[in-house]
Amino acid sequence: MKKFLRFIFALTLVFCFVNKVSAEEKMAQNIDSNELFEQVTLSAPHGDEIEGVNQGVNKGVNNVSENMTLREKLKTVYNLEIDRYDVPEYLYREPLTYHFKPESKMDNIHVWGAFNAYNDMAFYDDGGLKNKVKFNALNVGVDGFLKDNNGDFRVMLGFPVHSQRNYTQGLFADVFVATNKIPHHRIQIGHFRPQVGMEGGSSSYTLGFLGRSQIATNFGTARRLGGRIKGDYSFLDYDLGLYSSGTFFDEWFPGAEFIGWMNVKPLAKLDENKYGKLKIGGGIDAGRRHDNFFVTGAYIGYEYKRFSAEFEWANANGYNGYNGFSRKHATGFYTTLGYMLTKKLQILACYDQFTPDKHFSDNKQREMTLGLNYFIKGQALRLILNYVFCQNDAAKDSHRIMLGAQILI
């Protein structure tokens, strides 16, 4: 606990340093605070990011010259501004990026690291107390991009601890190649997280809370070997893929699995400042691993200026998720409301309910969560505070306080 508090204190010092701007500089910028706020994109638990693969959205980094020294590039972090919170960004993207010569087919290679962890204090109604440090993600990776955004690749290593898998099964998290040459489409082949539900297929580094919803934790998030095609149009986007039902390299090909998801965006052509953004989606996950399984889900999400709201439901007749295959028939849903109090501070509230086995009564698990996100530098440097009340029909109720941090370098 003391080590974790020292870590948070150190992050606070970093925050104070990187945000120190003199009054003269603020006057010179002459930018209205309300105008600044309108440039913010809300931090949705699942943006349209391609698992963090993007060419960069940092303000102030695009002006970095290739002739600058490493020390000069590192100084750009001081003035770094990140306007988007729905995609992962990195503090040292430019210093850790190698740009190829103009005649090369490669555009750049970016080396990065990512950390998301928290201190979890659980208080039980019978007076019990548990306190431990947990890691959501600890990764290092290499992303490569071809010229004109024709294609890219990723090799990402993870350092997880999971009781049901050995160390090497979780070491190679993402290993894939992709092409974007077909207009409005992306084809991806390799080992990665497919789109089982909206939150279940989202990046760990764009989640609104420190933990995923119960349907995402149980039904989704497991990486598989396979291929997908993603389409993105004004009113419609979709993700269709065929995979091996073996997850995390624990089995080579125990069976085939189809995962498909589609979203419609009815307000795509309207002024989002007036009408907001609406997304309605649904999908299935069907295959065989020791037995047949079938998961179906539906989603609706809405964003309007500072406000965001979403609802997701899923039902499973057997499933193939992060903790392995299960024959159980389960169902659940969550609903989340979010509001940007300032340009950097977000408040969230979530009600999450899960029935792990529909054949038994009185076994519902409910979680009510309040959260605060402080985006020091977008998702690249974020402080997170969650309070969770866990109410279980078949177990002791508990209260959890989670204090965490995220750093993407």
Residue 135 near residue 160 (C-beta atoms within 8 A) = yes
User: Letter for the amino acid at 38?
Assistant: E
Looking at the chain, the whole-number percentage of residues with pLDDT higher than 70 is: 80
> What residues contact 107, with CB distance under 8 A and at least 6 apart?
99, 100, 145, 146, 147, 148, 149
Start-to-end CA distance of the chain, whole Å, equals 24
Residue 17 has pLDDT above 70, yes or no: no
List the helix and strand counts (H, then E) for the chain.
7, 19
- Domains delineated in the chain: 2-408 (2.40.160.10)
Residue 162 has pLDDT above 90, yes or no: no
Does the CA dihedral 156-160-166-167 come out positive or negative?
positive
Q: 74: alpha, beta or left, given left = phi > 0 and alpha = psi -120 to 50?
A: alpha
Average pLDDT score, the chain:
83
Is the model more confident about 358 or about 83?
Answer: 358
CA distance 174 to 166: 17
Q: For tokens 């009340």, what's the residue? A: 389
User: Letter for the amino acid at 272?
Assistant: E
Cβ atoms within 10 Å of 255's Cβ, excluding its own: 18
pLDDT per position as a tens digit, 104-149: 999 999 999 999 999 999 888 777 788 888 888 889 999 999 998 8
Q: For tokens 């590039």, what's the residue? A: 73
- As a whole number, mean pLDDT of residues 212-223 equals 94
Q: What is the structure's pLDDT at 81?
A: 79
> What residues contact 121, with CB distance under 8 A and at least 6 apart?
129, 130, 131, 400, 401, 402
Q: What is the structure's pLDDT at 65?
A: 54
3-state secondary structure of 7: helix
Structure tokens at 23: 């009054």
Structure tokens at 213: 């919803």
3-state percent helix, strand, coil for the chain, nearest multiple of 5: 15, 50, 35
Beta-sheet pairing, 292-304 with 277-288: antiparallel
pLDDT per position as a tens digit, 21-64: 333 333 333 333 333 333 333 333 343 344 444 443 333 344 45
CA distance 281 to 295: 14
3-state secondary structure of 125: coil
The secondary element (H helix, E strand) that includes residue 171 is helix 167-171
pLDDT per position as a tens digit, 232-283: 999 999 999 999 999 988 888 899 999 999 999 999 999 999 999 999 999 9
For the chain, state the CA radius of gyration.
22
Q: For tokens 């850790």, what's the residue? A: 96
